[in-house]
Amino acid sequence: MATNVDELKRSSKVLMFDQYGTVVDMQAGLIEVATPFLQKKGWSGKPDSFVTWWRRTHFENSMIDALLQREHIPYRRIGEISVAYTLERAGIAHTKEEVSWLVAQIEKLKPFADVPAGMEKLHKRYKLAILSNGDPDMLEAARAHHGISFDHIISVATAGSFKPHNATYTKAAEIAGVKMDEVLFVANHAFDCIGAKAAGMRTAFIDRRKRPFGDWPYQPDLIVSDFRELADTLA
């Protein structure tokens, strides 16, 4: 923990969260969807492995799109490219409609069990925001499924690039109406904390998976195991 907690509480006006994998349980939710789909296809592999391939491919493709520095490709389209590639890699016959259906299930993901109570406690002290790589319509559709009342739901589409591009965090702080160092960015992914910290935000790393953060110069200001600990520490 690089920053005094009392100072962190004083300086933070907005808690800003990654959505996929931090607020909502992406791995478990997509495994639940993929398992019957893969069984119907007669695929004998592990659904967990399939979802991991899918998510890694999506992340890689997002980074490719950001580095190209051309017109931003929507998250949904990146998802379709990634799912189609993963199905082809696994040797699973598929249609465009099936690919689109699988990607659309991302909108229906549920939060981790500890998130709602933690968010309710945090919302009594701070404004809450989402900054997600998801498209605006996908994030809007997700409201009904995660059930959390955020003050701001921000898509990186407003900045024209995927995280961890500096512009995504800068634009999000502008939309939230605060200075960069008045935002505590919370993510389950080291890359997102690194991006936010490099851009000038404070960061909190949710270490659900018990993985090392890495020896980056952009270390998190707070490391907690889940949202219960985050709320108990900050609220």
Span(s) in the chain for CATH 3.40.50.1000: 5-25+109-234
Omega before 164 within 30 of 0, i.e. cis: yes
Report which residue type is found at 43: W
Residue 65 has a CB neighbour count (10 Å cut-off) of 20
Amino acid of residue 220: P
Residues 181-225 have pLDDT tens digits of 999 999 999 999 999 999 999 999 999 999 999 999 999 999 999
Tell the CATH topology of 26-108: DNA polymerase; domain 1 (1.10.150)
Give the Cα separation of 88 and 79 in Å (integer). Answer: 14
Percent of the chain at pLDDT exceeding 70: 99
The single-letter DSSP state of residue 72 is P
pTM for the full model?
A: 0.94
pLDDT at 3 > cutoff 80: no
State the pLDDT at residue 15: 98
Residue 2 has a pLDDT of 46
In the chain, CATH 1.10.150.240 covers 26-108
**3-state SS, residue 196:** helix
Q: What percent of the chain has pLDDT over 90?
A: 97
Q: Which CATH architecture has domain 5-25+109-234?
A: 3-Layer(aba) Sandwich (3.40)
Q: List, for residues 133-147, the tens digit of each pLDDT value.
A: 999 999 999 999 999
